[in-house]
């Protein structure tokens, strides 16, 4: 098996890399994603791919991770909240631009596929991948395969309601896991209390009060940051518990930017999840971090080309 070209087309950043047969990123280029006309995004991908291939040699196939709901057969990005794109045939467009056959899926499924072959899901028959970042997404692996669902929406854990009547979510509902536990939820909780509580975050411009700063404050012992993190993690525990109950997987693997604070989040999850799950003591489900880290989606895109399904 040869190395493959991988494209992680995100709503903020686009990365193109060469992925080796061992799942390692051999080379990569990245740039801000041009939103609006999808042809500009395709032109950027083509440019980044040429730069990578000029250094590494031409790849024979390509994998593409897309930010939203994907029609895999047609190679179409059906809708994407992060980019605003709707019914864009990215696979045919990129195949034409690069003269390479492409396999594609949404970025969350791609992450799960990478973990299945090169990370925490290797050797497991079933596991659940959860991305916790600006949003929250999930992917189901069962029988060693990605479960797509009747409408290509299996695993959409971010829109499980965990706090009825809670925060308004981008989907229009209230109290979705994404609205209660993703990075922006951390920020909202902190900003509401900042004037009264002060502390570690008080000297920062409000534009810099984000999940990373809150995690730093919690590690430094700041009371406000610890409480914001705890409340967000308790909401996340409700989502994780639902996964345990519905799917009974061998593992739940956490990735994404907010999961970078897993050293702080995991103790809260391990404390709260058992009380929300039937026969928790009899389960052998492992809850832990991605083994692939920041490049999980890019490696996942390469995995789509190496191991098409």
Which pLDDT value is given to residue 178? 95
Same structural domain, 110 and 172? no
Which pLDDT value is given to residue 153? 86
Which pLDDT value is given to residue 203? 78
Which pLDDT value is given to residue 196? 67
Same structural domain, 196 and 254? yes
Mean pLDDT by 10 residues, the chain (309 residues): 90 93 95 94 96 91 93 91 89 96 95 97 96 93 93 91 95 94 94 78 85 94 95 98 96 91 95 94 94 94 95
Q: Domain residues for 274?
A: 123-290
Scan for tokens 């993190």, then name that residue. 229
Are the beta carbons of 19 and 302 closer than 8 angstroms? yes
Same structural domain, 58 and 200? no
Which pLDDT value is given to residue 58? 86
Same structural domain, 203 and 91? no
Which pLDDT value is given to residue 207? 85
Alpha-carbon dihedral angle through residues 75, 79, 83, 89, given to the nearest 10 degrees: 30
Same structural domain, 178 and 276? yes
Domains identified in the chain, total number: 2
Which pLDDT value is given to residue 187? 94
Same structural domain, 10 and 78? yes
Which pLDDT value is given to residue 200? 79
Are the beta carbons of 111 and 296 closer than 8 angstroms? yes
**Structure tokens given for 284:** 């052998």
CATH code of residue 69: 3.30.420.40
Distances (CA, A) of 296 to 37, 128, 211, 232, 292: 27, 14, 20, 24, 5
């Amino acid at each position: 098996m040869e190395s493959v070209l991988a494209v992680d087309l995100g709503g903020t950043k686009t990365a193109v890399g060469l992925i080796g047969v061992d799942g390692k990123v051999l080379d990569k280029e990245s740039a801000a994603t041009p939103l609006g006309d999808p042809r500009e995004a395709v032109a950027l991908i083509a440019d980044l791919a040429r730069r990578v291939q000029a250094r590494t040699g031409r790849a024979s196939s390509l994998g593409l991770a897309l930010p939203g709901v994907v029609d895999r057969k047609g190679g179409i990005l059906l809708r994407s909240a992060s980019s605003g794109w709707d019914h864009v045939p990215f696979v045919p467009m990129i195949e034409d631009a690069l003269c390479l056959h492409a396999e594609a899926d949404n970025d969350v499924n791609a992450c799960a596929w990478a973990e299945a072959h090169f990370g925490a899901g290797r050797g497991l028959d079933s596991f659940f991948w959860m991305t916790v970042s600006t949003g929250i997404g999930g992917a189901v692996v069962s029988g060693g395969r990605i479960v797509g669902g009747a409408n290509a929406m299996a695993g959409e854990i971010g829109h499980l309601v965990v706090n009825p009547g809670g925060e308004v979510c981008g989907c229009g509902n209230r109290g979705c896991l994404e609205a209660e536990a993703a990075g922006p939820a951390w920020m909202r909780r902190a900003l509401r209390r900042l004037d009264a509580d002060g502390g570690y975050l008080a000297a920062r411009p409000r534009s810099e009060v984000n999940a990373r700063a809150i995690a730093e404050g919690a590690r430094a012992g700041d009371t406000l940051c610890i409480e914001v993190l705890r409340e967000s993690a308790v909401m996340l525990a409700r989502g994780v518990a639902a996964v345990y109950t519905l799917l009974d997987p061998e593992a739940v693997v956490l990735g994404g930017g907010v999961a970078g604070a897993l050293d702080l989040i995991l103790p809260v999850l391990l404390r709260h999840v058992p009380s929300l799950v039937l026969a928790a003591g009899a389960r052998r489900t492992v809850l832990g971090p991605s083994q692939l880290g920041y490049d999980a989606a890019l490696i996942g895109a390469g995995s789509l080309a190496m191991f098409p399904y």
